[in-house]
Amino acid sequence: SVFVVIFIIVAHIISFAMSLGAETRRTKVVWEYDPNNQYYYCKYKLDIASGLAGAAFVFNLLSFLLIMGMTKCYCCAGPHKPSGNRFCALLSFFLLIIVFIIAEACLLAGVNRNQMRTKTIYFQGQNVPDCETISKGIFSAAAAFTFFCLILSLSYY
């Protein structure tokens, strides 16, 4: 169906764009010094990366569920005749599941790490605190796997 193909493409493009947007809007940290109490602490700037990654997760999931529903997960369909097309569909099916799980895991891990905040306070004379932030690339990896998910989804469908 043309509607399904259009929905798959649009949902994956939105998920891809939101993943890249989350990468550029990751949590930033600055050092703050409190002169009254004489200590350093981590001050995190507000971000929207977690919201973007969460929305990307949902769009990717909706697309995957639509494909699985329309194709009846390949397992629940009627009997198939052995042929090369069946092998390609089966290979695309398993690769799609693997790539989908990796993309969703990257998004969830990115959201989790992005929300992590260090609460440690260091007094003057000690080393400056090491504030935890998300490493570069986790949302980019999710975007890449979302793109692969789009290709495999269209191949499978």
Question: What's the pLDDT tens digit per position in 38-94?
Answer: 777 777 776 788 888 888 989 999 988 888 888 776 665 555 555 556 777 778 888
- Examine residue 69 and state whether it is found in any structural domain, yes or no: yes
In angstroms, the CA 116 to CA 36 distance is 27
Alpha helix ranges (H) inside the chain = 2-24, 49-71, 84-115, 138-156
Average pLDDT on 8-32 reads 84
Chain length of the chain: 157
Range of the domain at 38: 2-73+83-156
Q: How many independent structural domains does the chain possess?
A: 1
* Bridging pattern class, strands 121-123 and 29-34: unpaired
- Examine residue 78 and state whether it is found in any structural domain, yes or no: no
Residue 96 has pLDDT above 80, yes or no: yes
Strands of 39-44's sheet in order across:
29-34, 39-44, 121-123
Average pLDDT on 21-41 reads 76
